[in-house]
Structure 1
Amino acid sequence: MTRVLVIEDDPIIGEMLTLYLTEEQFDVQRVESAREGKFALDSYQPDILLLDLMLPDASGTELCAEFRQLTAIPIIVISMKPSVTVRIQAISSGADDFLVKPFSMQELKVRMDAVLRRTSSAKPLAVVYKNEDSTIATEVQQGLTLDLERRTIVLDGEHIETTFSEYEIMRLFYQHPNRVFSREELINAVRGIDSFINDRAIDVHVTNLRRKLEKNPKEPQFIKTVWGVGYKFIR
C-alpha cells in the first residue's frame, strides 16, 4: 500500500485529505507542522509527500527546498497562493507538482498516480558482460550510471543525490544518449502534460544537474545545450 505523508495544519482540509486518500486505498499519516513532518519522513518512510507551504512553524517556498534536501520522494505542494511566481519558485525548489486550494480530490489523485507511476516505471539500466561460464549483469562502476533502487546518479562510483525531477530528466537522457530533447519534451516527460512547469524550471533542473555532475559546469561534458532547441546527453 502506498504511504502518503500529509503535512497540513488546516484541520478541515487535513481531515478531508486523510479520509479521501484512505478510501482510495492509500496509507495516510498527517502531521501539522514542519518539525513533525521532518520526524515523520524518517519514522513513517512515505512514498509521496503532500506539503502545505503555510505551516505554524515555517512557511514559504524555502520550506519545499528544506524537504527536498531531506528526501528524494515525489513532493506535491498544496497552497492557497495561486501566483505564478510562487508556483515557479516551488517547482524550482524541488516540488514535483503544485495544486492551488481549493482543488478537486480526483485531480489530486490523478496527479499523485502520475508522479508515482513515473517513479515506479524506471527500468534497470545495466551493462551485460559475457564469458564462457555465465552471463553477468552488473552496473558500471566507472563513468556515469544510475542506481535504480536508490534513485541516485552514480558518478565514478560515488552516489549523487538528486531531486525527483532531476533524476527523471537524467534517466531520460541516459536511456537516449545523443538524442536532442526540446524543453517541451522534457516538460512532458517529467510532469505529464497536465502538471504545472515551464521552460525556466527545466533550465533550473539542468543547471543543478550540471553543478552536481560536471567538473566545470560552464563547460559541460555530459549535458550539452543545443542552442535554439534544448539539451542532449553525451555518454
Structure 2
Amino acid sequence: MIEPNKKTLLIVDDDQDIRQLLCDVLSQKGYQVLEADSGAQMWAHLEQTQVDLILMDLYLREEDGLHLARDVRALFTMPIMMLTGKGDETDRILGLELAADDYMMKPFNLRELMARIHALLRRAIQLAPAPVLNTLEDPHDCLYFGNWVLDLTARQLLNKDGEQVVLTLGEFSLLEVLVHHPDRIFSREQLIDQSRGLEAEVFDRTVDVLILRLRRKIESNPKTPQFIKTQRGLGYFFQGPVRKN
C-alpha cells in the first residue's frame, strides 16, 4: 500500500539482485519503492501509481532502456536516473539526450546514489508547476519569444496554440537562464552555475546535450536555430527579442 506522504521510486532493472539491494536501501531511507523487470511491469505501475522518480537500467535483456526512457519522458515529467554497467561516455550522453536527468555506472556507490536521488527530487520540488492562477490579482510571470510563451509561474513552455511542451528539469532551467538574458553569451560553466536544475556533478557535455534537446523542441529547424545560437569558442546565447508581460 502506497503511503501518501512518502516519495515513490520505481526501479526498472532485470537484475533481481540489483532490484533487491535498491529496494532495501531506499526503503530504509523512507521511500516507497516499486520494482519492475520489464517495460510492461513499468507501465503497469505508472498507470496505477504516481511515481516521483524512476531508476532505469540502460541495458535490459529484451528491451532498450533508452527507448523506454524516451517513451516515459513523452508522457511524464518525473526525474529519470539511468543505470548502466558500461563505462562508455557515449552511453551517458545518449541517455541524457533521450530523456534522462542523471546517470550512474554500476557498480555504484550507495551514498553517492542516495545523494543524487535526493538532489533530483529536490529539483523536482523546486521546478514543480505552480497552481494555475486565473485572477487578475495574480497574473503569471511570462516571457514571450517568437510563437512561444515561457510561463515562469507555472514552470511551463507553451506553443502558440496554448499547448504545453514537456521539458525536463534541466531543460527548463537552462532555457529560463537564456531567455531571461537575451543576446548575452554564456559559457557552459556559467550556464551550469546559474541553472537551478543543474548541479556540480554535471559535466560540460551535459550542457551541449540539453541545448540540442531544446533546439529540437523550440526551433523550426534545429540545424539552423533561430533562438538558441552558438558563439564558437565562447558558448551559447539566446537571440531576442524577448517580451515580458
Normalised to the residue count of structure 1, the TM-score between the two structures is: 0.81
Match of residue 192, structure 1, among 180, 194, 199: 199
What secondary structure sits across from 1:166 in the alignment?
Answer: helix
Match of residue 156, structure 2, among 136, 152, 156: 152
**Number of residue pairs matched by the alignment:** 227
C-alpha distance in 1 between matches for 2:58 and 2:216: 27
What secondary structure sits across from 1:9 in the alignment?
Answer: coil
CA contact under 8 A between 1:4 and 1:28: conserved in structure 2? Answer: yes
> For structure 2, which runs of at least 5 residues remain unmatched after alignment?
1-5, 131-135
C-alpha distance in 2 between matches for 1:54 and 1:136: 47
1:27 lines up with 2:32 in the alignment: yes
- Deviation larger for 65-74 or 7-16: 65-74
CA contact under 8 A between 1:22 and 1:28: conserved in structure 2? Answer: yes
- Deviation of 1:216 after TM superposition, in Å, equals 4.4
Normalised to the residue count of structure 2, the TM-score between the two structures is: 0.78
Match of residue 206, structure 1, among 197, 203, 211: 211
Match of residue 127, structure 2, among 122, 145, 152: 122
Rate the CA distance shift 1:168–1:54 in 2: closer, same or farther, 3 A. same
1:102-134 CA-partner distances (Å, limit 9, x unpaired): 112111110011122222223889xxxxxxxx7
Rate the CA distance shift 1:40–1:75 in 2: closer, same or farther, 3 A. same
1:225 lines up with 2:230 in the alignment: yes
C-alpha distance in 2 between matches for 1:26 and 1:173: 35
1:48 lines up with 2:53 in the alignment: yes
Match of 2:43? 38
1:135 lines up with 2:140 in the alignment: no
| Identity value in percent | 32
Rate the CA distance shift 1:135–1:67 in 2: closer, same or farther, 3 A. closer
Rate the CA distance shift 1:227–1:119 in 2: closer, same or farther, 3 A. same
Match of 2:3? none
Rate the CA distance shift 1:16–1:92 in 2: closer, same or farther, 3 A. same
What secondary structure sits across from 2:14 in the alignment?
Answer: coil
C-alpha distance in 1 between matches for 2:74 and 2:118: 23
1:68 lines up with 2:73 in the alignment: yes
Match of 2:20? 15
What secondary structure sits across from 1:180 in the alignment?
Answer: coil
- Aligned-pair RMSD on alpha carbons? 3.1
